[in-house]
């Protein structure tokens, strides 16, 4: 399977990412660019995007980029820095790039921006390679 086919296979079973209305823009080996519109249901009591939504969006980017070779990997550690509040009607983009790869772990940098290319958050995710194929799970 190509990286895009693996990501599509995962997305078809990922009801949470579907609920968030995530669209895959580009998928290459150990890389992805995804997009998500900000809906009313994603807004917190301060009228900004809930931090958990932003984190979950970045986590989806991590999943689609770190598993798209077909070898399954799960999140081991994730850190997020929020840099700008998102608003209803925004369109978020997350770009996930592999920065370090070892036999059992990998580290990805994920940048989340809005439709104006403003930096919304910076996310670093470390994954653990579990030694199985995505299609075996």
pTM for the complete prediction?
0.97
- For residue 50, what pLDDT band results from cuts at 50, 70 and 90? very high
pLDDT, position 6: 98
Strands (DSSP E) found in 83-135: 91-101, 105-113, 119-133
pLDDT tens readout for residues 84-98: 999 999 999 999 999
Distances (CA, A) of 91 to 33, 35, 54, 129: 13, 7, 12, 31
What integer pLDDT is reported at residue 87 of this predicted model?
98
Domain boundaries, the chain: 3-136
Residue 68: which pLDDT band, with cuts at 50, 70 and 90? very high
CATH classification code of 3-136: 3.10.129.10
């Amino acid at each position: 399977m190509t990286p895009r086919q693996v990501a599509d296979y995962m997305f078809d079973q990922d009801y949470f990412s579907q609920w968030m209305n995530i669209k895959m823009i580009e998928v290459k080996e150990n890389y992805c660019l995804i997009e998500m519109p900000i809906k009313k249901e994603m807004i917190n009591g301060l009228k900004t995007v809930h931090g958990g939504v932003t984190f979950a969006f970045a986590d989806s980017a991590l999943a689609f980029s770190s598993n798209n070779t077909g070898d399954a990997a799960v999140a081991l550690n994730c850190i997020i820095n929020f840099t700008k509040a998102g608003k209803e009607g925004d369109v978020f983009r997350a770009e996930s790039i592999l920065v370090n790869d070892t036999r059992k772990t990998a580290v990805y940098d994920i940048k989340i921006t809005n439709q104006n290319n403003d930096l919304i958050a910076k996310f670093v995710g470390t994954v653990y390679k579990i030694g199985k194929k995505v299609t075996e799970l």
